Amino acid sequence: MSLTVKNVIEWMNNFSSKIEQNKQFLSDLDTAIGDGDHGFNMSRGMTAVSQKLSTEPKTITDAFKQIAMTLISTVGGASGPLYGTAFLEMAKKSSTSSDIGDLLDAALTGIKKRGGAEPGDKTMVDVWTVLVSEVKTNTLTQEKIDSAVAATKDLVAKKGRASYLGERSKGHVDPGSQSSGYLFKALLETEGIL
Amino acid sequence: MSLGITLVSHVQEIITGLSALLEQVAKDVSITTAGGTNDEDIGTCMDKILQAFSENKADEILAFYDLGSAKMNLELATEMTSKKIHLYDVAFIEGAYTAATLIEAGVKLTEIEGQLEPLTLKK
Ligand SMILES: Nc1ncnc2c1ncn2[C@@H]1O[C@H](COP(=O)(O)OP(=O)(O)O)[C@@H](O)[C@H]1O
Ligand SMILES: [Mg+2]
């Protein structure tokens, strides 16, 4: 299957509505181990993205670039430059590949470079690492998404604000991992991409 | 080739205070700031950082920040500006103060960096 401007827009609108429905929940997760703004940050960002995409971009590369720049300027928290970098790397990659696995791989490399986190640090990198390889082997499922998100619960945070809590960050799901779970769920639900 | 300073914080009041502290000892150094998000909330904003870079009178800038996510936006802005930016993972107040006093005294960048080195933090 393949990426088109239309299904990218559908993917983003689906992601945006999941964020909207769960913004309080995401912020509550962030209250436990951070500053309580993750859902509101992402909601501000994705509302702006949907708005931006209501004028259809000409190419997939343009679409990803617009998503990236909008998130970078509107999100505010760490998730802004991180998701922003992810989509910026997808934009770059999309000029030479239309394979979603390749694009998500480039995005993950970008997130790791931007934030310096590795798997196990209790950040969105954990969920992305597991799920990008599921996408590449064509084996992404809802269960795998849920378990990748839930697996962040027992980790001790090494990066981001939660890291200031040390051992006390244990026992809570990482908010950025939860929102990343919604991104992959929206991807799974968008017909024609995977 | 002149050296300037850009300060980035999650909170506007933090850099308002820190600039006051630096200006007292570095009257001739161009110090520009980016605090808070677009809608004046707590956070950082790449657009504001880019603006702080362009408003700075110097062509080479030493940048200091408070928490990790400010660094991510700083790096993004660094990739998008044509100015030469040096980013330091050092104690925010002590690092910026060290740089300000040394730039004011006309000290060269390599020497300033030598003085900043021991102030490095895991950020
Ligand atoms: N250095 C990092 N690398 C990867 N992900 C990170 C990093 N720092 C934070 N995150 C992710 O960002 C999420 C927090 O986002 P958000 O609350 O919007 O930003 P902030 O922490 O600035 O308030 C975390 O749950 C984590 O998944
Ligand atoms: Mg937060």
State pTM to two decimals.
0.95
Q: What is the mean pLDDT of chain A?
A: 97
Residues 68-107 of A with CB under 8 A from B: 72-74, 76-78, 80-82, 84-85
- Whether B123 has a pLDDT exceeding 90, the answer reads no
Q: Give catalytic residues of B, as residue numbers.
A: 10
ipTM for the whole predicted complex goes beyond 0.85: yes
> Which tens digits make up the pLDDT trace of A76-120?
899 999 999 999 999 999 999 999 999 999 999 999 999 999 999
**B75: closest chain A residue by CA:** A114
Query: Percentage of chain A with pLDDT > 70?
Result: 99
Confidence class for position B1, pLDDT limits 50, 70, 90: low
Comparing CB atoms, the residue among A72, A76, A161 nearest residue B76 is A72
Domains in chain A (CATH in brackets) are: 5-189 (1.25.40.340)
Of A132, A122, A130, A129, the closest CA to residue A174 belongs to: A122
CB contact under 8 A, B75 and A78: no
8 A C-beta contact, residue B72 and residue A160: no
> Would you list the domain boundaries of chain B?
3-119
Domain B3-119 is of which CATH architecture? Answer: 3-Layer(aba) Sandwich (3.40)
Mutation test residue for ligand 1: of A124, A131, A163, the one with most atoms within 8 Å of CB: A124
Task: Supply the pLDDT for residue A193.
Answer: 93
8 A C-beta contact, residue B44 and residue B9: yes
**A40: closest chain B residue by CA:** B41
> Which tens digits make up the pLDDT trace of A48-83?
999 999 999 999 999 999 999 999 999 989 999 999
> Which tens digits make up the pLDDT trace of B38-51?
888 899 999 999 99
